[in-house]
Chain A
Amino acid sequence: MDMLQTLKIALRALRTNKMRSFLTMLGIIIGIAAVIAMMAVGAGASHVIAQQIASIGSNIILVIPGSTTSGGIRVGSGSTQTLTSDDVKAIIAECPSVEFAAPSVRTTSQVIYGNMNWSTVVMGTTPELFDIREWGVVNGRSIGQQDVDGAAKVCLLGQTVAENLFGEEDPVGKIVRIKKVPFTVIGVLERKGQSPQGQDQDDSIFVPLKTDQRNLVRSQFTNTVGAARVKAKSKELLDNAEQEVQSLLNQRHRITNGKEPDYTIRNLSEILAVAEQSSRAMSLLLGSVASISLIVGGIGIMNIMLVSVTERTREIGIRMAIGARRNDILMQFMTEAVLLTMIGGIIGIGLGAGGAMVVSKMLEWPTLISVQSVTIAFLFSAAVGIFFGFYPARKAARLNPIDALRYE
């Protein structure tokens, strides 16, 4: 029997019991919709994490001044002033696996422009920071080495600061005052969005390191920095870079075996990799829960197909008497089961995609529906039909034609 005829017979059989066909499909529809929606939400989460990795820059380690113990009292990390600009310079000069290193000093200050003012984070840094964080300028220019060397009173604005102080106005060339010191705005940075910790990275102002140390921090230790970002030359060299930085700082800070270091090294990408892994585990978990509903749906298909075979025993007998081979009967019922699950699969894909869209609208959570997940879902629904349709179809094909013809 040709495929077209088989398909026609199967469609007619499904149409005969429209309500029953629909209810049978419902299990598959719900299962596939759940799989598609879960995969979309999971992919969305991975996408967010990937974006955050890109926003902090890749292959980066963070060096911050650590705790010191003086007279038996331990002080928390970041609270001492043991890391200096010279340390950072040494890292660049002496660690072969390091591509860039940028120190930063962080203060919080009120920034004033005309009659507007805004409280924000002021970061003193060097041009390498923008290479490390892969952060470009949309308007004006970035901070250059000459600005740092000359301790120029210039600044770069984050998008949030620019919006709050200037609104629609072009900030480049304007003067803002930070702690009563006038700074010329030389550029506006591109939008970066939230950090992995949920902070608005665009709510900050960048000034040359030396300017910051001299004019804003004004502490007695003018050479200290709050943190240093170090970028390895490649992902593979990240661990090397970490070790090189560690041994260099141990040497420079005279930290011998057994003594507690006065700095801490954090690997930012590692933190995010963990986050990504947990989000992947989460979507795998959700996906497997959804697949269970598919299996339940498949059992529903098998159940209804068994009922259908019993109901149509006489039809099977007629077909056999007239010359249908066992294989023809097998294919007829298999086609019916696969058609059920594939139609259910298509409806489920549509429903799942719609559901994902609603989720992303209502919860403002990005969702991603990949061609891959749609293909997998579709093939899976067909596979459910083949798997759960086989037993009833085989039962039909094995009927004895004499008994089948006599069945009332």
Chain B
Amino acid sequence: MDSVISLTDIRRVFTMGDQQFEALKGVSFSVSAGEFVAIMGASGSGKSTCMNILGCLDRPTTGEYRLDGVDVGSMNHDQLADIRNSKLGFVFQGFNLLPRTPAVENVELPLVYAKVPAKERRQRALAAMEHVGLNGKENNHPTQLSGGQQQRVAIARALVNSPAVILADEPTGNLDSATSEEIMNLFNELNRNGITIIMVTHEPDVAAHAARRITFRDGSIIADTRA
């Protein structure tokens, strides 16, 4: 199978004054198209640092990161922004929707930066919202939506530019268990339709929805299991 993501001996060293801290100590793994991976670990284990690198928000100190066949390691700010725009979709714990902005415009946002014409933008945003079951909520502002609905808007926004991978960072962290279950079922459904998902979580029952679990401890992978 093709790997969408391949990390080879990734190290990330943070320097604070004269102190150095190695958050990732040579991490290597690859993810194939259509996989649903949960990244687990206690806080400080390096999973967030790994997620930032996967999301092209941070660059590794050493090591090679290939995303969808492209070497991301040597790219500049603008190139990284374009990669995030075209190949990645983000779902955050705190939803991170723009306040005072209608749901549909939140979903359109990645397409705005991709310079998609307004008419096509709106069509694709509405289609993505239908996909996550948000018909009729297009013009609601985030504050007028429940937590589950806000997270669905965020998922629609992550889907709208047809990314290679969706990166979800504790997507159920701010939701009650019933709503968490709904959102995880939605992820499973998207995954069955062929979308690659990488999700960070520390809850085992949320991770149980993923077919593969990678566990971090002290900057290294200690387990990589498939159900």
Chain A residues packing against B (C-beta within 8 Å): 1-2, 4-5, 12, 16, 314-315, 317-328, 401-402, 405
The verdict on A322 contacting B77 (CB below 8 Å), with A12-B101, A402-B57 known, is no
Cβ–Cβ contact A16 & B100, under 8 A? yes
Cβ–Cβ contact B78 & A5, under 8 A? no
Cβ–Cβ contact A322 & B57, under 8 A? no
Please tell me the number of chain B residues within 8 Å of chain A, measured between CB atoms: 28
- B29 CB-CB contact with A under 8 Å: no
Beyond contacts A318-B98, A319-B109, A327-B78: 15 other A-B pairs, Cβ-Cβ < 8 A, are A1-B112, A1-B113, A5-B112, A12-B100, A16-B100, A315-B99, A317-B96, A318-B97, A318-B109, A322-B85, A322-B113, A324-B81, A326-B78, A405-B92, A405-B96
CA distance A388 to B115 in the complex (A): 28
Query: What are 17 contact pairs spanning A and B, CB under 8 A?
Result: A2-B112, A5-B112, A12-B100, A318-B109, A319-B113, A320-B57, A321-B90, A322-B84, A322-B90, A322-B113, A323-B84, A323-B86, A324-B81, A325-B77, A328-B113, A405-B57, A405-B96
The smallest C-beta distance from A327 to any residue of chain B, in angstroms, reads 8
Question: Which one of B77, B78, B96, B100 contacts A318 once the chains associate, using CB atoms below 8 Å?
Answer: B96
CA distance A16 to B141 in the complex (A): 14
CA distance A84 to B38 in the complex (A): 115
Interface residues of B in 165-196 (CB under 8 A from A): none
B residues in contact with A405, CB < 8 Å: 57, 92, 96
Cβ–Cβ contact A321 & B55, under 8 A? yes
CA distance A154 to B110 in the complex (A): 92
Interface residues of B in 74-106 (CB under 8 A from A): 77-78, 81-82, 84-86, 90, 92, 96-101
B residues in contact with A2, CB < 8 Å: 112, 115
A residues in contact with B115, CB < 8 Å: 1-2
Among A2, A328, A405, chain B packs the most CB atoms within 10 A around the CB of: A405
Cβ–Cβ contact A315 & B98, under 8 A? yes
B residues in contact with A4, CB < 8 Å: 118
B residues in contact with A326, CB < 8 Å: 77-78, 81
- B145 CB-CB contact with A under 8 Å: no
Which residue on chain A has the smallest CB distance to residue B78? A325
- B58 CB-CB contact with A under 8 Å: yes
Which residue on chain B has the smallest CB distance to residue A16? B100
- B211 CB-CB contact with A under 8 Å: no
CA distance A247 to B113 in the complex (A): 82
Cβ–Cβ contact A322 & B109, under 8 A? yes
Cβ–Cβ contact B52 & A402, under 8 A? yes
- B114 CB-CB contact with A under 8 Å: yes
A residues in contact with B81, CB < 8 Å: 320, 323-326
Among B100, B101, B112, B115, chain A packs the most CB atoms within 10 A around the CB of: B112
The smallest C-beta distance from A230 to any residue of chain B, in angstroms, reads 74
Question: Which one of A12, A315, A323 contacts B113 once the chains associate, using CB atoms below 8 Å?
Answer: A323
- B157 CB-CB contact with A under 8 Å: yes
Which residue on chain A has the smallest CB distance to residue B101? A12
Cβ–Cβ contact B96 & A323, under 8 A? no
The smallest C-beta distance from A280 to any residue of chain B, in angstroms, reads 50
CA distance A327 to B77 in the complex (A): 10
A residues in contact with B157, CB < 8 Å: 322
CA distance A34 to B77 in the complex (A): 44
A residues in contact with B99, CB < 8 Å: 315
Among B55, B58, B96, B157, chain A packs the most CB atoms within 10 A around the CB of: B96
CA distance A405 to B161 in the complex (A): 21
The smallest C-beta distance from A332 to any residue of chain B, in angstroms, reads 11
Among B77, B97, B157, chain A packs the most CB atoms within 10 A around the CB of: B77
Which residue on chain B has the smallest CB distance to residue A323? B85
The smallest C-beta distance from B124 to any residue of chain A, in angstroms, reads 14
